[in-house]
Structure 1
Amino acid sequence: MLMRRWMAVAAAPLLVTGCSYFGSQHADDWRGRTDVDSAELAINTVLRDIDPCGFVDAESIKAKIPRAISYGYAEGFDRCTLRLGAYDGDFTSDVSATIGFDFTPDPGEMVEQPTDAVQVGGITIIHMLGPTSNRGWCRYVFNLGVGDVPDPSSRGGVADLMKRVRVEVRASLSNDPGPGRPIYPCKEAIAIASGAAQIRSRQLPGRSDSVPFPAGQDPCALFPDLRDFSNYSPGGTGMGRGLYGCLFSSGPPGDPKTHRVRMTLRPVDPHEPDTSSYGDERHSVVEQRDGVELHVSTVTRRYDKPFCEVYVFLGSEYRPTYFTPERARPEDVRVPGAVLRGTSSCDDIKDVAAAAGKRFRP
């Protein structure tokens, strides 16, 4: 009797804590196991259904940037990467660019500096300076617009948040020109942004079957397949809000005993598990777990204890689209993948990786 009473008393605060932390009245609904606002979750779903590479006006770019090489999903599924060849100026450097999404800053955030604007197809494209040094890169933005966006529901502030979504074009040099040298790849950036705005004025480019899987998938949808994790948080590093990253946690934020695994769905160089420069030393092996092939690396960084990093290949190799076929390069090959790191044990990270391999393979 005493044991039963102790268990009931111990369980009560856990239930209360769970309700207050997750803010959900439906404990069996995994989507409520996060403290991220429901409006932001809805926006993430909308943006994953849009194809960033669908904003590439290939013919216009070939005419304005004749040295351009390719475009496609080379760095992330939330952005389209364009390789533009050598910089057209008296500075030796390659130029690349990305098309992705961002949000107008929240009140109180570091202020952007709009410098000039142009109209293309009825859309205003703004040249935006960042709050710190802008050398070596150039950025243009325009509002995505909500008129034909699928289901911009007004519930939970979704429509208001959707109005803040922008298409962002950022061009950058591979070499830093150094302080005092006003070198910016703005010619390339405005050429890409103008073509993107022209396309947006006609249509909203949705995901097509040609986009590598798992582009368009919610990485946090893995949560119901996992054991020993009590909550999740969407997001990650990179442009926009990290549409393809998810952090799985065993307890509340701030608790030092909480174990966490971060998973990112992204394009992977087939040789990356063995050659990644992340960390100071790396030892990699290939393992099988639950029928899924895992590329497991023990990574050592100076001043930190070794940690585990796991790669899972989720599909077939693919290449970007080339503006001219003769510019194809072997190093452009990518594989859809999941990359996992965390503070959990390596066995826990492998378990999550195996679950990802099962869920996100086409």
Structure 2
Amino acid sequence: MSNKATVAVLSYELIKHPRAIKIVKTLLKNNYRVIIWYSTKPFKKGPKIVRALMNYLYSIVEALFLKANMYWIENIPDIVYILYPILRRNYVYDRRSPWSKEVILEYGFKIFGKIAEIIERFLIKHAKCIAVASTPLKFEFNYEKPVYVVPNYPEKSFSLSGKQRNNVGKGKILLYVGKLSIVEGTDILLKVARKLCNSETQLWIVGDGPLKHMVKTIAEKCPNVKWFGWLSRDKVKELISLADYCLVPRHKTRYSIFYNHEGVQKIGEYLALKKPVIACGIAKSPYYYLVSEDSYVETILKITKEEISITSKPLEAYWEDCSEKEVLKAVAYTLKAKEEK
């Protein structure tokens, strides 16, 4: 198969999903023609649930008009691609996280999670192959088809640039980057913020999401807590380089094993800039300091007061070295499967 094949990369919220952009770059670098699709989400008014459903329906129709030799689709939200198996489209199903499990944690209704899992299994069944963001996700289902581990590591351009902290405050700087939601442990982050309020330690929060109003409220009350909203990757890199410690708070569940340094993008970015990472509620790893959810806030307080010190194994892992070859393997397999059909 010639590298002149056309690959459509679909990402519902492309601007918030750097993984899809990295996949596009990899394909272009290897002479594939690439179509990039993301939802324009034209429905911006009305109740949130109604608005979301309308945008999903619009996106389902919009995605049908893409024409390519194969498609790379992500699993959040995978309902957008529900008609691809029926139309016998050749696609890689990219599982960035255990989506159906996250739906239950986020909304608290098992029926939502069950519906999401039915969609997941339907798309898994008809995919040519599967891509996953971490090794544990490779074992989430009995896929019965090739599975390629494509870690969510940062690109080499994200590595340390030499920028040093300068006149940003007396105390330590803690940084959180990510979605502001229950699944991402924002309620735990808020506990940290309340404990640190009016102290010399600064807490910087980068991101947006369902709990942004709570983050905004505490940032307005506490002068040492700053909420930046969503920022460009360059700006995120700058803030990480200035931080003393980076945070990954999450609730411990039976699905915690699926989240580690391979799949959680912010961890890879923290580590690329050689920052110590304090985490809870995710899988064990030698590359970050993992504590229990119950002791997370207290541990952070002790670390900022230098009552305890933390050490972890350094990790230098980049997209170009570890992930690109797996993307190309998945694409080559899917195109070959199309030829043999």
Shorter-chain TM-score category? under 0.3
Write 1 or 2 for the structure with the bigger share of strand.
Answer: 1
> What TM-score does the superposition give when structure 2 sets the normalisation length?
0.26
Write 1 or 2 for the structure with the bigger share of helix.
Answer: 2
> What TM-score does the superposition give when structure 1 sets the normalisation length?
0.25
